[in-house]
Amino acid sequence: MKRSNFLNRSWIFASCIKDYFFKKDRVSKYPHTLIIETTNHCNLSCKMCFHKKMKRKKGFLSKKTMKILLNNLRNYKIPHVQLAFGGEPFLHPKILDYIKEFKKLDIKVEIFTNGLLVNKDISNKIIDLELDIINFSIDSTNNKTYSKIRRGGNLNIAFKNLKYLSKLKKQLKVKKPFIRLCVTKVKDNRLEIRNNLFKKKYGKYVDYIYYNYENNWIGSVNNEVIIGKRGVEERDRICLFPWLLMAITHDGKVVPCCCDYDINYQIGDIHKETLGQIRHIKRLRDIRQALIKRDYDSIRICKKCLWRKHNSPFKLLFNRIKSEIVDLIHLK
């Protein structure tokens, strides 16, 4: 069965979920998703982001580390990669070559971008490469609020790029990439969300609009998260991520999730261990065990993480299933 095939992806996803619900710290062979940081440089300084606080060295995923990663992925059949994490992926000069390499291995490739660098040339190329999903992070429908949230950005450019890609897809009659608009719910855009302005402005250019709550990045960023009736409910929950995914930094360090942006809880290094070994490594099992026992205090990164408090596993599960169904209908 092909790696990116819907059934294969669903099978691996179901195995992760089964382990999660049966509270197993020893898990099935593959995670569903590998989050890959191609760079932790960024061209913005967004209000709700950890980027300005990041202390680790800035850099780019080198050819050498990429080769090790590809060798790993050749033998270890993770079906889905997300190019995201500590920066803007399109700042990497080799990003298109890297997408091509992942696609050659028949991996479903998804990218998260602020959209400012997705110019005409990039749009043409990502369509040629059959990139599967592109997420444009645009959190407002007007210039003033956008500039307040996406500091250093320019809504006109991001929107122009989004429109161009969308029109090009229609012109070429292609389905890929699936275009998602990612909106982080902050106090500044509350009314725009409530009045459905995102759908009105961007709806005809995107395939899906996704709203998510701002994060506190394991307690390091003091965001003004909207709590309450129309905002998020806070509850101590068992986070699904250590069962479902792993994240890798541009220099090959592996962490349990993308919230650990400064590598506070390293679980491996692909220069020393394989991804298959890291999936079952004791440090990652320790996190699963601590979460199962709801002993959040014993794991530094999970202790203050608002992500687990805000995101119900059922909601994540529902969103993932919904997104797979939308994908299936859209991409066939």
Q: Does residue number 49 form part of the binding site for ligand SF4 (CB under 6 A)?
A: yes
Among 12, 17, 35, 44, interactor with ligand SF4 by CB under 6 A? 44
Distance in angstroms (rounded) separating the CA atoms of residues 81 and 298:
29
Q: Please give the DSSP secondary-structure letter assigned to residue 204.
A: G
Q: Does residue number 301 form part of the binding site for ligand SF4 (CB under 6 A)?
A: yes
Distance in angstroms (rounded) separating the CA atoms of residues 320 and 279:
21
User: Which one, 151 or 167, has the nearer CB to ligand SF4?
Assistant: 151
| Residues forming a β-bridge with 137 | 182
- Which residue from 64, 111, 119, 108 is spatially nearest to 85, judged by alpha carbons? 111
Smallest gap from residue 98 Cβ to ligand SF4 (A): 18
Chain centroid to Cα 25, Å, comes to 23
- Which residue from 157, 161, 132, 150 is spatially nearest to 331, judged by alpha carbons? 132
Q: Does residue number 88 form part of the binding site for ligand SF4 (CB under 6 A)?
A: yes
User: Which one, 183 or 218, has the nearer CB to ligand SF4?
Assistant: 218
Q: Does residue number 218 form part of the binding site for ligand SF4 (CB under 6 A)?
A: yes
Please give the residues from 8 up to 27 whose contact with ligand SF4 meets the rule CB under 6 A. none
Among 9, 51, 250, 310, interactor with ligand SF4 by CB under 6 A? 51
For the sheet containing 245-248, what is the strand order?
A: 208-213, 178-185, 133-137, 108-113, 80-83, 33-36, 245-248, 253-255, 268-269
- Are the C-beta atoms of 178 and 330 separated by less than 8 Å? yes
Smallest gap from residue 105 Cβ to ligand SF4 (A): 26
Q: In the stretch 98-137, what mask flags binding to ligand SF4 with x, by CB under 6 A?
A: ----------------x-----------------------
Q: Does residue number 46 form part of the binding site for ligand SF4 (CB under 6 A)?
A: yes
By CB under 6 A, name the binding residues for ligand SF4: 42, 44-46, 49, 51, 87-88, 114, 218, 239, 241-242, 256-257, 259-260, 301-302, 305, 307-308
